[in-house]
Structure 1
Amino acid sequence: MTYTVAVRTLCEFTAKRGDLDLRFTPSPTAQEGIEGHAAVRAGRGPGYRSEISLTGQFTELRIRGRADGYDPDLNQLEEIKTFRGDLDAMPANHRALHWAQAKIYAHLLCQDLGLDEIKVALVYYDVIQHKETSMVQECSAAMLEDYFQRQCRLFIDWARQEVAHRASRDQKLEALPFPHASFRRGQRPLSESVYKAARQNRCLMVQAPTGIGKTVGTLFPLLKAAPGVGLDKVFFLTAKTSGRQLALDALAALDPIPSDGSLRILELTAREKTCEYPGQACHGEACPLAQGFYDRLPAARQAAVAAGTLHRSMLRDIALQHQVCPYWLGQDLTRWSDVIVGDYNYFFDGSALLYSLATNNQWTVGVLVDEAHNLLERARKMYSCELNEYDLKSLRRTAPPALKKTLTSLARCWRDTWRDQTASYQAYDQVPIKFQGALLRTGSAITEYLAAHPQDTNSALQRFQFDILHFSRLAEVFGGHSLFDITLRGDDKASDAASSVVCLRNVVPAPFLTPRFAASRATTLFSATLNPWTFYRETLGLPDNTAWVDVESPFEASQLHVRIVPQISTRYQHRARSLSPIADLMARQYRDLPGNYLSYFSSFEYLQQVLDEFVQRYPQIPVWKQARNMSETAKCEFLERFKLGGAGIGFAVLGGAFAEGIDLPGQQLIGAFVSTLGLAQTNPVNEGLRGRMAAAFGHDKGYDYTYLYPGIQKVVQAAGRVIRSHSDQGVVYLIDDRYAQARVRRLLPAWWHVQSE
């Protein structure tokens, strides 16, 4: 069996040595990289060839890649690298990796064209100075072939191990039994839909109610389909840590596949949660786990793949046994794992690791998106960025002298962006060109400074650098999918205290996410609340042929009594009149059936108003409330109040920590009151979103896409906390006259039997 490997992957495996060193970062933006390559090619002759697809063979090893360029007049193969900063500061092992790639490409080209010799050039292009530096070696074809074979020999044993692993994995997955005695109601059609989507090479959206076992009901069929459709990897993506654990538990139930190492499972965790030396820079002079990292990586990698399942703690144990960084070991293992469990951002973010690896290595992947109703807001945040002028003012007071002039220039340009603005908030059609230029110059200056002064650990400076580079990347692709707005702070614009917040605010992530869906053979998005599905398909950028399945609920309508209270309005202007009626309603229900209840409100302010009224009128009924910015300990204490045998009403905010993702089965929660329609506040920002939605999808959809659909989704999620199993019984009160409207009722789950009070 032939094993195919990309040139870059081969070289990273065989040619990386020495320390892990991130000082020569961040790299240029994607757009700067494209423009840098184009600038180099523009200076070449008319016969210059670029983006040359090449392949080669060594025993059962197939190597493929795409060379940047070849100048036939000079007989010169060129590997082009864009950079920013001081080229002399580039670590030696980075340069060695670049030479390895260039020589492999040169060998493949000599083989392709029948050349006896060739010039091999590393061309470094400075994206700020717009200047290129070339380093050239003259190589014979025989020397390059010898180099190529030596690199392949270093990799061939690993490749043979990977071929054997893949064969064993696929054989066991084909025979994989369902991990439970039987499917739950609704679980079989869910699994069949996921399996068919993988076979048909299409995306799938599934609305499946809580309680049917969505995690195992999606993982099992996709893994079962993997051998037949040639899946290299399965990515299980979640919005929350709790979702990752559910996935790991479901995978552990596929005994004995994970336990015998036939299925390699990797949990990816954020860098800040895995760093063993917080505050230390990622290079050998500062961190002992970065020193000699690539020298110790092979042994750590081998131990890790032998372990099979690598959740966070196990990955850490192996990393520390071999004295390598746990985070960067995990990053390396993404290439050698079968199932990867991690956050949405690993595939959908602008610099997503898994997406980049999948496209560069031409992997065939299947993607599962858990609690997919969260993806819209999460993706908006991924492709949004704000900069606070106050941060710049603070930084100017502490910045090193070498950066004072650049930061002062940025400050002047920044103030010019809002000098003529009269309103406290205003959206604009474009990002000022001068402001973009000032940000790029500042980012470059900070990069050069940090490269020259690696001992400087000014976290504020590093954070500001990251923010302005992220802003610059988004500014390059600004369009109708986003808003550029400025919010003024301070009443007196002429005072030194006045400042602004500039924001690139994504509204429709579809243009960014569409390539992600295209990179997957089959993406399944599943949630208990994906209604209406066209709203999510359009805003997320799913293909037109995306399949839709609404799985029948396993629960009976008799289990949940849903009551609309149309005589109470929770609109802002009516809230004062709503306080007493809501308090009376909750007290009456509690007296009729004492137990644990959750009461949801649109804001902390409204929550407190009703709570004050309730406590005054019914002091004998126990209550507890969600507070702003609760610690994890406080959140646990809030949930502890719902223990069996307890009784009372917890007050919470709709869309917050206690409105989804919590499990309170049986008598732990017997009812919920939802005193809101969940609509976002009407303000200039949301009205700007509404305008963008209307322009993108039609005038009649602007309001629904901005306010109604996201609001009702939060309501249904909150109500879903009540019925968690087949034996649960409960009640949900939907308090607002608008719940009686037909257009709202259509958005509620079909299995609910809704009555009016």
Structure 2
Amino acid sequence: MLDRTKNVKISVRNLVEFILRSGDLDNTRARSDADSMQAGSRIHRKLQKQMGPNYTAEVPLIITVPVTWDDISFELTVEGRADGVINNNTIRDDFSVLLFEEKDLNPPEIIIDEIKGVYRELSHLSEPIGVHRAQAMCYAYIYATKYDHAKIGIRITYCNIETENLKYFDETFTYEELSIWFEKLTKEYGKWAVWQLKWNEKRTKAIKTLDFPFSYREGQKELVTGVYKTILRKKKLFIEAPTGVGKTISTVFPSVKAMGEGIVEKLFYLTAKTITRTVAEDTFRILQDNGLHLKVVTITAKEKICILDKPDCNPGACPRAKGYFDRVNDAVYDLLTNENDITRELIKDYATKHCVCPFEMCLDVSLWADAIICDYNYVFDPNVYLRRFFMNDKQNDYVFLIDEAHNLVERAREMYSAVLYKDSFLEVKRLIKDKSMKLAKHLDHCNNDLLKLRRDCDEFEVLDNINGFCMHLMGLMAEYEVFLQENVIIEGKDEVLKLYLDIRHFLGMHEIHDDNYTIYTDYDEGDQFRIKLQCMDPSRNLNNCLIRGRSAVLFSATLLPIGYYMEQLGGSKDDYAVYAPSSFLPENRLILIGADVSTKYTRRNEREYKKILGYIKDFTKARTGNYMVFFPSYQMLQTIAELAGDEIEGLVIQSSSMTETERELFLEEFVEEPQISRVGFCVMGGIFSEGIDLKSNRLIGAVIVGTGLPMVCNERELFRGYFDEKNGKGFDYAYLYQGMNKVLQSAGRVIRTKEDRGAILLLDERFTQQQYINLFPREWFPNLCVNQTTMPSTLSEFWERVTGKHKSK
């Protein structure tokens, strides 16, 4: 039976935005409210400080009301924070002009103020936006109920962020009017709340009886326990776990169990690549096959799920955008009440049935899902993150499971950096000059600022202050907003919108930039002048995102050195780190180091390349099977491939721009029990060095050519100087750790399951140096230094020994 004493909580904003939304999807208009949130917060504070003693800012309001739906009654708690409450009993006469129109000589005793900072021209607002008005009405009803007011007013205060001009919309309600309106609103939400109560009870009951679906491997039970305790204690856990120890099930299972105990509200499984998303989906499916009831949704990129060849979300381009918000709630309810494992195909099917956008529908479904599998962007990227979950920076009982966490350092630096190109301003001016002289003038101001900066930049220039440029950008943004509201762009729409979004992001990053940032100008590979806000250390920004949840578990096969990753990924001294033991027998893997070759730039010549080629030929001839050879660059790959000619049997080469189909065909070449060897030439850090899963004897060896160090460039040297000054580890942070991570990932392709046998050859003399040996994982010991003379016999002995125990290898 359903526990009817349950209480459902929802914020005022989420309630009105969910129930009262209507109309079209439309990307042809600037979305002022969402886009101006950060700047709007500043305006909120400024306006609130200007108000007099009769004005109380940030007033918390909460109400619990009984709701009945489908003969089931429960309590609904609606809560939020009113921007301001105006008490006219304490108003000063000299302050009345600021608050009220002269004609309003008898204002209500109490007025609820809802402040919205926008970029749009206020003259275009003839009435308040519906959800803004509804928010104020909710607060007015809660306040009037609490303090017994028969009449109460609302005011929607719109402030243009650039000009700080104000526009007010005032309305007065009787308590009876608000009561009828609020009861209707909460009753409409009742259908959803009752579904959720029923589902949560069913889900919790199933979780309580759920057991771990496999026999525990060595150390796995301790890992599962560690994850559960981390969630219980609201900490972060960093897990360095070799391939094959079952990282995914070891993190998902205890998180699900914590959900069953009411500790966790929602799981976010975050990945960097499609292949790891698939592993997560399979893991949840295994638990569902063992009796788990859980709503799991995977968020697919818009480009991959859109019904158009190229996404264009407006009613003029897509029939599903017209009236989207009028139909989507029915589509979501239909899906939720009929499906658990919410796959990409199911989303597409239900979106077609209800004629809605599959991508936007997927985001709406995520509100009701227990677990969300998605890219890092949806939690961390300031432009893409799921505002519906993280808008107010409030801590919720979310758990973040972050797979392949080593990728997040560089990804985060990109997310929190911003760049603008001078040529973009000139191009957009050319496209719009006949439509808006005002916008063209603002574009000119910014272009002139960049022109001055270019004159002072020979090659690379670090800047101390760009406040003047940013002031001009803010003026441009205000006019840009007006332009996008008033014009339908046809020619050059992509270029016009891209610059708008780039400027918005640039200003957003400038707003939060601190001593973890460096600002510089330089020229890209095409000699285009640009200005960049470079995030040097993303830890503070990442932590600000992670604290929106109760706990985070970050795991990878390559989190070495663990201290570096804990520091860069927002960890603290109070957080935990574990090294999960490998379940593989060390005698089943052979680690060789070819110490008489080098890939240093000063040693890159034909003689050295021929020596590398000789190692590759001898290594792959030792036993018939499938091999991958990883190079530090496409250039070296191509050079050695040309030298090889027809000397390497079964050679296949990764190209620099492979489609998904081409990648699949490439991997299909690596069959079990091949009659002739297959040797794949690939690039370290590329699509085949991470995430691919060639189990059993589909891959028996890997050659790692070089240490994977990034190319020396101005930006890398900037990182080097920054961290030299910060902690004296500039080379390690800028080059060494990133390079060795690529090496470890590439080598990790070989041993995927406990039954695998394989050999790994590291080709570079630097692998014998202590600074590199210190970064070897535990399972890389012991290892052997070889040369071309000794390697064949060493390999022969290894294969004879392991094939005697395991015939397939």
Do both proteins adopt the same fold according to a TM-score greater than 0.5, normalized to the shorter chain? yes
1:594-633 alignment runs, 5 A limit:
594-615=624-645, 619=647, 621-633=649-661
Partner of 2:669: 641
Cα deviation code 1:623-651 (max 9, x no counterpart): 23222223333333332332231414222
1:3–1:61: 8 Å Cα contact kept in structure 2? yes
Identify which of 523, 541, 552 aligns with 1:488.
Answer: 523
Counterpart amino acid of residue 357 in structure 2:
C
2:533 aligned to 504, 508, 516, which one?
504
Look up the match of 1:265: 296
Amino acid at match of 2:166: E
Residue type of the partner of 1:11?
Answer: V
Q: Which sits farther off after the overlay, 224-233 or 243-252?
A: 224-233
Match of 2:500 in 1: 465
Q: Residue deviations 1:718-751, cap 9 Å, x none?
A: 0111111222222111111221122321211102
2:591–2:784: 8 Å Cα contact kept in structure 1? yes
TM-score by length of 2: 0.87
Match of 2:283 among 250, 254, 257: 250
Q: Which amino acid aligns with 1:372?
A: A
Q: Take 2:8 and 2:527, find their aligned partners in 1: how far apart are those partners?
A: 61
Report what 1:304 is aligned to: 335
**1:138 shift after superposition:** 1.4
User: In the aligned structure 2, how far is the partner of 1:296 from the partner of 1:271?
Assistant: 19
SS in 1 for 2:778: coil
Provide closer, same or farther for how the CA distance between residues 30 and 14 of structure 1 changes in structure 2, counting only shifts above 3 A: closer
Where do residues 369-518 of structure 1 align in structure 2 (5 Å cutoff)? 369-401=402-434, 402=436, 403-422=439-458, 424-430=459-465, 432-454=466-488, 456=490, 458-488=493-523, 499-518=528-547
- Say if 1:568 and 1:737, in contact at 8 Å, map to a contact too: yes
Whole-angstrom CA distance in 2 between matches of 1:263 and 1:591:
49
* Kept after mapping to 1: 8 A contact 2:296/2:369: yes
Match of 1:33 in 2: 40
* Higher alpha-carbon deviation: 628-637 or 231-240: 628-637
Give the letter for the 2:367 counterpart. Answer: R
Instruction: Answer yes or no: is 1:191 the counterpart of 2:219.
Output: no
Q: Is the 8 A contact 1:281 1:287 kept in 2?
A: yes
Q: Which residue of 42, 46, 51 corresponds with 2:49? A: 42
Who is 1:548 aligned against?
577
2:244 to 211, 220, 231: 211
1:410-430 deviations in Å (ceiling 9; x for gaps): 2222211221222x1222233
Cα displacement (A) at 1:141: 2.6
Task: Tell me how far 1:489 sits from its aligned partner.
Answer: 6.2
The reply on whether 1:721 has 2:755 as its aligned counterpart is no
1:335 pairs with 2:367: yes
Once the 2 structures are TM-superposed, how far is the Cα of residue 682 of structure 1 from its aligned partner? 2.1
Aligned to 2:86: 71
CA distance, structure 1, for counterparts of residue 477 and residue 616 of structure 2: 56
Native 8 Å contact 1:207 1:550 kept in 2: yes
| Aligned 8 A contact 2:144 2:150 in 1 | yes
- Residue in 2 that maps onto 1:494: none
Residues in 1 aligned to 2:608 and 2:461: alpha-carbon distance in whole angstroms: 34
Q: Paired residue for 2:16, among 11, 24, 28?
A: 11
Q: Relative to structure 1, is the Cα distance of residues 83 and 712 closer, same or farther in structure 2, using a 3 angstrom cutoff?
A: same
Q: TM-score, normalised by structure 1?
A: 0.93
Moved more, 232-241 or 243-252: 243-252
Correspondence for 1:167: 201
Paired amino acid for 2:81: R
Separation in 2, partners of 1:20, 1:421: 43
Instruction: Confirm or deny: 8 A CA contact 1:417 1:435 kept in the other structure.
Output: no
Deviation at 1:281, TM superposition (A): 4.7
The alpha carbon displacement at 1:352 in A equals 4.9
* Alignment map for 1:25-174 (pairs within 5 Å): 25-27=31-33, 28-59=35-66, 60-73=75-88, 75-87=110-122, 89=124, 95-174=129-208
Whole-angstrom distance in 2 between the partners of 1:367 and 1:528: 18
Q: Give, in whole Å, the separation in 2 of the partners of 1:295 and 1:587.
A: 64
Q: Separation in 2 of the partners of 1:444 and 1:170?
A: 50
**Structure 1 equivalent of residue 622 of structure 2:** 592
Secondary structure of the equivalent of 2:10? strand
CA distance in 2, matches of 1:254, 1:508: 38
The residue type equivalent to 2:453 in the other structure is: T
CA distance in 1, matches of 2:600, 2:161: 53
Give the drift of 1:294: 2.3
Question: Does structure 2 retain, via aligned residues, the 8 Å contact 1:202–1:546?
Answer: yes
- 2:100 matched residue in structure 1: none
Q: Distance in 2 between matches of 1:64 and 1:43?
A: 26
Distance 2:569 2:543 in 1: 7
Corresponding residue pairs, total: 741
Deviations 1:20-42 (A, max 9, x none): 34524144444311221123223
Indicate how the Cα distance of structure 1 residues 455 and 751 shifts in structure 2: closer, same or farther if over 3 A, else same.
closer
Quote how far apart the aligned CAs of 1:164 are.
1.9
SS in 2 for 1:392: helix
Identity within the alignment, % = 31
CA RMSD in angstroms, aligned pairs only: 2.3
The 3-state SS of whatever aligns with 1:543 is coil
Alignment of 1:501-540 (within 5 A): 501-540=530-569
Deviations 1:38-65 (A, max 9, x none): 2322331134211111100111111111
Q: Deviations over 1:174-233 (max 9, x none)?
A: 2112233x2334432322221221122211111111112222221111101213242110
Instruction: Give the whole-Å Cα distance in 1 for the aligned partners of 2:211 and 2:456.
Output: 68
- Deviation string 1:127-153 (CA, Å, 9 cap, x unpaired) is 122111000011223322232222112
| Cα deviations by residue, 1:107-131 (Å, 9 ceiling, x for unpaired) | 1122333333222101111112211
Contact 2:275 2:692 in 1 (8 A): no
SS in structure 2 at match of 1:255: helix
1:116–1:141 contact (8 Å) kept in structure 2 = yes
Give distance in 2, aligned partners of 1:450 and 1:370. Answer: 39
For 1:351 and 1:47, the matched residues in 2 are separated by 38
Once the two structures are superposed, residues 571-629 of structure 1 have per-residue CA deviations (whole angstroms, 9 ceiling, x without a partner) of 110121421221111222233323322222211222223223333xx625342322222
3-state SS in 1 of match to 2:604: helix
The aligned runs of 1:347-362 (5 Å cut-off) are: 347-354=379-386, 357-358=389-390, 360=392
Cα deviations across residues 521-542 of structure 1 (Å, max 9, x unaligned)? 1210111011111101111112
SS in structure 1 of the partner of residue 670 of structure 2: coil
Alignment map for 1:718-757 (pairs within 5 Å): 718-752=746-780, 753-757=782-786
Any idea what SS the aligned residue of 1:193 has?
Answer: helix
Further displaced range: 72-81 or 123-132 = 72-81
Q: Any conservation in 2 of the 1:482–1:508 contact (CA below 8 Å)?
A: yes
Tell me the secondary structure at the aligned position of residue 261 of structure 2. Answer: helix
SS of residue in 1 equivalent to 2:452: helix
Structure 1 ranges of 4+ moved more than 6 A:
none
Per-residue CA shift, 1:644-686, capped at 9, x if unaligned? 3141422221111111111222332221111211112222211
- Per the alignment, in what secondary structure is the counterpart of residue 563 of structure 1? strand
- Residue 280 of structure 1: CA displacement? 6.7
Gaps of 5+ in 2: 1-5, 67-74, 92-109, 787-809
CA distance in 2, matches of 1:314, 1:489: 43
* The 10-residue stretch of structure 1 (303-312 or 591-600) with the greater mean CA deviation from structure 2: 591-600
Q: CA deviation at 1:162?
A: 1.4
**Match of residue 663 from structure 1:** 693
CA distance in 1, matches of 2:124, 2:688: 49
CA distance in 2, matches of 1:489, 1:528: 34
